[in-house]
Every structure is written in structure tokens, then in C-alpha cells.
Amino acid sequence: MIFSQYLFISSNKIEFILIYSKIVCKDSCYIMSKNELEKLRENINEVDDHILDLLAKRASIVSKIGKHKNSNKTVVDLVREEEILNRLLKKTIGNYSKDTIIRIWRELFQASSNLQMFNFSEIKTKRTIESINIYKGGQTSIKGKSNIIKLSSNENTNSPNNSILKEIKEIKFQNKLNRYPEISGLSLRKEIGNFHGIDPERIVLGCGSDEILLFAALSFCKDGDEIIHAEHGFEMYPVIAKVVGAVSKLIKEDENYKVTVKSILNQITEGTKLIFIANPNNPTGTYLNRVEIIELMNALPKNITVLLDGAYAEYVIENDFDKGFDLVEKFENLILTRTFSKVYGLAGLRIGWSYSSEKIAKILNKVKGPFNTNFFAQEIAIKVLNDQNHINNVVKLNHEIKNWFEKELNNLNLKTRVTFGNFSLIESNIKEANNIFNHLLDDGIIVRKLDSYNLPNCLRITIGTMKEMETTLESLKKYHG
Ligand SMILES: Cc1ncc(COP(=O)(O)O)c(C=O)c1O
């Protein structure tokens, strides 16, 4: 009606209206009358009432099933839930996307398990939180022993250079304690940008790189979405997935504990939003090379974000390993993370960072709290970053000691896996892994048991100083009699 009035005004206006109507109405060129709209709304109301009836019916069946379940045991049957989802996804019709269907049904599963838990008076979290195994990290002390060698957390046993330690003592902080630090660490971001030749505006700092992993999950995942990570990947990945309400989909590694592009792609569903890949991985020590990363990124739907976690990247000297940041220019959905906790020896200060496309950096910055990294961490990170001679020495020393140590382990008939990073992986059987772990503990040496990584037959040993590794080896020799 409105259009017909305008049509009489002038030919210019007609042209304008035609263009306008094309834009506004797209192909249909049809404006709905108020009555028609009301009618459709009534239709929606009817459908919603019907959905409510169906939900009541579903709830009553769920409650009946619940009465037959053992209330002492968990009422959640994840296998059955996946079966239901797979069946529904095959039948899905209509315009709602498959990932919407997945999320709606995961919400229904959650509601159903709440129904079956009988107790309505308790504080309840989302279901994924209940199943989190709190991250314990490597053991830090041994009862009754004060002189210990700690090789359990992949820290750098070398502190920063002595000259840096001296400079740190001279940092004037007394009059800064009552002030907030730089809100997003611009000075450090500029230094990182300068050193790596990258744009400081696209660097996001985190309280450890762990925090960036969380930012990514918070940014891209809703309840019921899926995060893909390796079966034996870094322990925080499943924890972070659960924190944001997502479901972990596990990549099966090959016989060398390596994830392949194919094995990653196999886990993709309509619900996938994020992929965590530690490169190299902790604790398996394997990595995807540059060609494989490009292959993966080209094969992935662009709505899925990949976070390549480079916590140990500086330790890798292999030619096919990509230490650069240029892939971010080619792939908008790629995030690269780095940390000051490992090769830079600042684990205690909790500082890490990410580099990504401008679009993703902006998203992460929306999730990041202000002042998430502190004044000391920012100041000291700048100092260690500018001491690359020391970093190069740390990397060189790590290789020398690691190569020597692993040869000696093999001489003791202990099997080691090929790992890239600052740690060795001993593979044995569960009994021997436990025995070796306890024997080393008796001698004041803490290494990492890998039960929580579903590798109870393995031990991870961080490469410490030469002296620490010699002592560890002597203890292992004693074990072997
Ligand atoms: C693969 C991997 N990513 C991230 C981290 C966390 O590092 P940050 O200290 O920067 O939080 C670790 C720590 O062990 C790790 O092994």
C-alpha cells in the first residue's frame, strides 16, 4: 500500500523504491500485512503449546525410567545420549541448523538428568561442572624431605640470567603497588610485536596462556557445543571444555601418539566450535608440521576456530616446525598462543599471550578482564624477552641434556618416546611406571605420573639441569639393581 502511493510521485522515486524494495524484501518483494503477521504469531503460539505438551510427556517418561535407575550411581548415560543425538541428526528437517538441534537436545538431557536426581534442594551447577576433575598439576613436595628435585611440571629449571635477576631487584615498584598495571599490557605487547615482527594490536595477554585457552572457549562455545582435542592432550583442555559447558570430542592419536589431520577431521560434527592442539603436545611431545597445519586449516569449515597452543614451541628446532605467525594472515580462524612459563623461565609470574586475526583478537579482548596481567609480570617479561642469548642457551642445553639423558635411559632398557619439548616420556607398563615413580620419590625426585592423561603406563620427566638429571639417572640405575 505504501509503495503504491509512492509510485505516482516521480520516475526517480520509482527507481528508488524499486531498489529499496529489492534490498528490503530481497527476492519476494512482498510486505506482510498486519493481519497476516498476527496469524503467523498465533500459529507459533499453537506450536509452542504443543511443544510444552510434548515436553511434559517426555518428562513423565524420563521420571519413570529414573525410578528404575540406581540412585547411588550417576544417572547420566552419555553413550545413550550420543545415540539419541545421532538418530535425530539423521532425521533433522526444517531450517534450524544441526548444531542448534544438538544444543537443544543437550539442554533436554541436562533437564532430564536433573529430574532423575530427585533432590531439588541442593545447589546445582551445570552438569559439565560436576564432572570436572580439578587440575592438580605435578606433585610439588615429598613428605619429610626438604631437598627435592622437581621434574614434574615442565618448568624451566634455569632461572632467567643473573644480570636479569639483578635488574629485577632494581625495579622500583614501591610507589606502583597502589596503582593498576597497564590495562592490557601495551608496553609488553609492543616489545613482543617488535621481537617477532607482528602487530601488537592483535596480541592478547593472559594470566598464563591457560587464560587465553579459556577466553577462546568462552568466546566461541555455548552449552552443548563441542571442543575437539587429543585423547592424550594437555590436561586443561577437557577442564576448560567443561567449564564452558562444552563436550570434548577426542582425537585418536596414531601409534606414535601423533594426531593426524585425518584424525582431527574425523571428530568434526555440526556442533564443533573449537579445536585445541598443543604443538608440540604435552605429554606426548608430538607436533603437526607447517604443511599439516595448512592442510588442516584448508579442510576445516571457517566457522570452527583452531587454537594452536605453542607452550613448548621455542624448544623445537626441526625445520618443518612452524615457529612463525604468518599463517594467521591466511586463516582468520587460527589462534596461536605462547607462554613465558617454559623456555623464558617465568612460570611463577603467570604470563602468556596469543596472536590471531584482528577479528579474533577483538573477540578475545571482549572476554578478557581488564588488568588481567600484573605489573611485575609485564615488566619482567620485557626483560627476559630481550635476553635472547640466554634463551638460545636454554634451548641448546635442553637438547644436549635431553639427548644424553634419553640415551642413558635406553641403556637401562627404559623405552622412551620421541618427544619435542623440555621433557622425556618413558613408556612401560602400569606396574613398572608406578614402581619407578615411587622409587624416585624415595630418593627425593618428583616426576609426573600420567594417570590423568590416560597414560598410566608412562612417566613424564622434565629436563632439569645436568646435575639434576645425573642424580635422577643414578637413582634409576639403583632401581635396576
Ligand atoms: C601444552 C600446554 N599448554 C599450556 C600450558 C599452560 O601454560 P601457562 O603457564 O602459560 O598457563 C601448559 C603448561 O604446562 C602446557 O603444557
Q: Which residue lies with its CA nearest to atom 16 of ligand 1?
A: 282
Where is pLDDT greater, at 88 or 123? 88
Output the pLDDT for position 112.
Answer: 87
Residue 117 has pLDDT above 80, yes or no: no
Q: Determine the average pLDDT of the residues in 366-375.
A: 96
Where is pLDDT greater, at 119 or 62? 62
Q: Determine the average pLDDT of the residues in 154-162.
A: 90
Q: Which residue lies with its CA nearest to atom 15 of ligand 1?
A: 311
* pLDDT tens per residue, range 283-299: 999 999 999 999 999 99
- Cα 473 to middle of ligand 1, angstroms: 26
Output the pLDDT for position 118.
Answer: 59
- Cα 307 to middle of ligand 1, angstroms: 13
Does 155 contact ligand 1 (Cβ within 6 A)? no
- Cα 468 to middle of ligand 1, angstroms: 22
pTM as predicted: 0.86
CA quadruple 11, 17, 23, 27: dihedral, nearest 10? -90
Does 152 contact ligand 1 (Cβ within 6 A)? no
Q: What is the CATH T-level fold of the domain 180-385, as seen in this structure?
A: Aspartate Aminotransferase; domain 2 (3.40.640)
* pLDDT above 90 as % of the chain: 72
Output the pLDDT for position 72.
Answer: 52
Residue 165 has pLDDT above 50, yes or no: yes
* pLDDT tens per residue, range 236-279: 999 999 999 999 999 999 999 999 999 999 999 999 999 999 99
Indicate which atom in ligand 1 lies nearest the CA of residue 233: 1
pLDDT classification of 23: cutoffs 50, 70, 90? very low
Sign of CA dihedral 181, 182, 187, 192: positive
Indicate which atom in ligand 1 lies nearest the CA of residue 153: 14
Q: Determine the average pLDDT of the residues in 161-187.
A: 90
- Own/partner contacts of 437-443, CB < 8 Å, gap of 24 or more, are 439/475, 439/476, 439/478, 439/479, 440/472, 440/475, 440/476, 440/479, 441/142, 443/471, 443/475, 443/478
pLDDT classification of 3: cutoffs 50, 70, 90? very low
Q: Determine the average pLDDT of the residues in 454-476.
A: 97
CATH ID of 149-154+390-480, from 3.40.50.410, 3.90.1150.10, 3.40.190.120, 3.40.470.10:
3.90.1150.10
pLDDT classification of 423: cutoffs 50, 70, 90? very high
Average pLDDT, the chain: 90
User: What are the extents of the domains in the chain?
Assistant: 23-129, 149-154+390-480, 180-385
Output the pLDDT for position 254.
Answer: 95
The residue whose CB lies within 8 Å of the most ligand 1 atoms, and thus the one to mutate among 279, 284, 339, is 339
Q: What is the CATH T-level fold of the domain 23-129, as seen in this structure?
A: Chorismate Mutase Domain, subunit A (1.20.59)
Output the pLDDT for position 123.
Answer: 78
SS (H, E, C) the chain: CHHHHHHCCCHHHHHHHHHHHHHHHCCCCCCCCHHHHHHHHHHHHHHHHHHHHHHHHHHHHHHHHHHHCCCCCCCCCHHHHHHHHHHHHHHCCCCCCHHHHHHHHHHHHHHHHHHHCCCCCCCCCCHHHHCCCCCCCCCCCECCECCCEECCCCCCCCCCCHHHHHHHHCCCCHHHCCCCCCCCCHHHHHHHHHHHCCCHHHEEEECCHHHHHHHHHHHHCCCCCEEEEECCCCCHHHHHHHHCCCEEEEECCCCCCCCCHHHHHCCCCCCEEEEEEECCCCCCCCCCCHHHHHHHHHHCCCCCEEEEECCCHHHCCCCCCCCCCCHHHHCCCEEEEEECCCCCCCHHHCCEEEEECHHHHHHHHHHCCCCCCCHHHHHHHHHHHCCHHHHHHHHHHHHHHHHHHHHHHHHCCCEEECCCCCEEEEECCHHHHHHHHHHHHHCCEECEECHHHCCCCEEEEECCCHHHHHHHHHHHHHHCC
Output the pLDDT for position 119.
Answer: 63
pLDDT classification of 27: cutoffs 50, 70, 90? very low
Where is pLDDT greater, at 147 or 11? 147
